[in-house]
Structures are given as C-alpha cells and as structure tokens.
A and B are shown apart, each in its own frame.
Chain A
C-alpha cells in the first residue's frame, strides 16, 4: 500500500532563517506531488505541484520554492522565512485520487 511521510511534524523557526520540509512517498511510481498550506482560519492553498522529476509548477508567487530531486521525494524550501509563512503544510500525492501526508506545523517567530 502507499504511504506518505512528512517531516518534521512541528517546527519553530525565527524570521529570516532558512526552511526545508521533506515529503516522501512509498508504494507508488511517478505520482503527481503537491504542497499545500493552511493558514489559520483559511482553507487549503495550493503552493506547488510536480508531475515528474525536476518539473515544478508554482501556483502563487511567494517566498517559497519546491524541488523534486527524486521520483518520490518532494521538498519545500525557503531562504529566508517571513512571519506570514507560518501555517500547516501538507504534502499530497495523486494518481486518480489524492492522498495527504500528516502535515508539518510551522511557526515563524
């Protein structure tokens, strides 16, 4: 069966520090991969999606970037975090149905 991992589960970072969140998927090949963010009191916002290695589509201009160095690995990064980057980050993978990881709670202070 397919499994999706995200780490870390929680993270507290100072403003201006870098960020790296990792997502890996097991049990499937060549999935579409996605990064979403949930800010407090707001719905799901699609940040990036990838249909293959090295292929990244950005949905909104922002302080974040994404990379897909391997088929089942998706990384969300930032060089300098902003207060507004705080939120709950969800990775997802999809073939005909989309499945979500457990999420990372990021607090920027």
Chain B
C-alpha cells in the first residue's frame, strides 16, 4: 500500500523568504513522487516529479524537491516566495505504471505576506 503525509496543513511566509513544504511517503515499491499546485477554483498543475533519476528535482516557478529514501521524504522548497505562490500544494505518490491510482496528501495551503 502507498500513502502520503503532508506534515503541515498551512504554511505562512513573507514575500522573499524561503518556502518549505514537507511530505513523507510510504510505499512498498520504488515510488514516483509528484508535487502539484492548485490556485483557487483551478485545476491542479504539475510542479515537478521524481521518477528514480536524479534525487534533486527541479520544477517550474523556481520550486525544487529532494527525494530522500532513507527518510522517506520528498520536501518541496523555493528559495524566495512570491505573492503568486499563494495556493494549495499536494504531494502525490505512485508505485508504477501499472498502478492506476495515485495517493494524494491532504494538501498544504500556502499564504504569502507582503
């Protein structure tokens, strides 16, 4: 079985400061891991994905995530938050192409203070 735990339901940062969104996963097999972002009343947009290549994954909009197998973590970071980063973020795990379903975290809401 696979599952994802997002450790923070809400993160508040000041504009220009770093953002850290924490995600731990549980998987019986080598996982694929994803981060999605959702702005209000919009669909989910893929930020980045890890599929067993480089452990440090760079995504869109300056985000990156590091896969740490020993810690079963896939935390999302950005060096400098922008007002447009205010949104909800989902960490997602999949255990392979034959696994038709993904497991979603509960989401982390990010607010950015001016």
| Interface positions of A (Cβ within 8 A of B) | 6, 32, 43-44, 46, 49, 51, 57, 59, 88, 90, 92, 94, 96-103, 105
Kindly state the interface size class of chain B when it binds its partner: 20 to 34
Complex Cα–Cα for A90 and B104 (A)? 14
Decide if B42 touches A102 in the complex (CB within 8 Å). Answer: yes
Interface window among B58-66, B77-85, B94-102: B94-102
Interface membership of B28, Cβ < 8 A: no
Cα A49 to Cα B90 in complex, Å, equals 20
| A44-B90, A51-B100 known; A101-B107 Cβ under 8 A | no
Min CB–CB distance B6 → chain A (angstroms):
9
Q: Is B41 an interface position by the 8 A CB rule?
A: yes
Contact between chains at B97 and A90 (CB < 8 Å)? no
If A43-B106, A97-B49 touch, does A90 touch B43 (CB 8 Å cutoff)?
yes
Dominant SS among interface residues on chain A: strand
Contacts of B42 in A (CB 8 A): 102-103
Pick the residue among B41, B92, B107 that contacts A105 (CB under 8 A).
B41
**Chain B nearest Cβ from A80, distance in angstroms:** 26
| Residue of B with least CB distance to A101 | B43
With the chains together, A43 CA to B36 CA distance in Å?
A: 13
Q: Which of A6, A43, A98, A101 contacts B102 (CB 8 A)?
A: A98
Could you show 29 A-B contacts with beta carbons less than 8 Å apart? A6-B43, A43-B90, A43-B104, A43-B105, A43-B106, A44-B44, A44-B90, A46-B101, A49-B100, A49-B101, A59-B101, A90-B43, A90-B44, A92-B44, A94-B100, A94-B102, A96-B51, A97-B46, A97-B49, A98-B34, A98-B102, A99-B46, A100-B44, A100-B45, A102-B42, A102-B43, A103-B42, A103-B43, A105-B41
Q: Which residues of A contact B41 (CB under 8 A)?
A: 88, 103, 105
Which residue of chain A is the closest to B41 with respect to CB atoms?
A: A105
A105 to B43, CA, bound (A): 11
- In angstroms, how far is the closest chain A Cβ from the Cβ of B7? 15
A59 to B104, CA, bound (A): 14
Give the complex CA separation of A100 and B101 in angstroms: 14
CA–CA, A6 to B43, complex, Å? 10
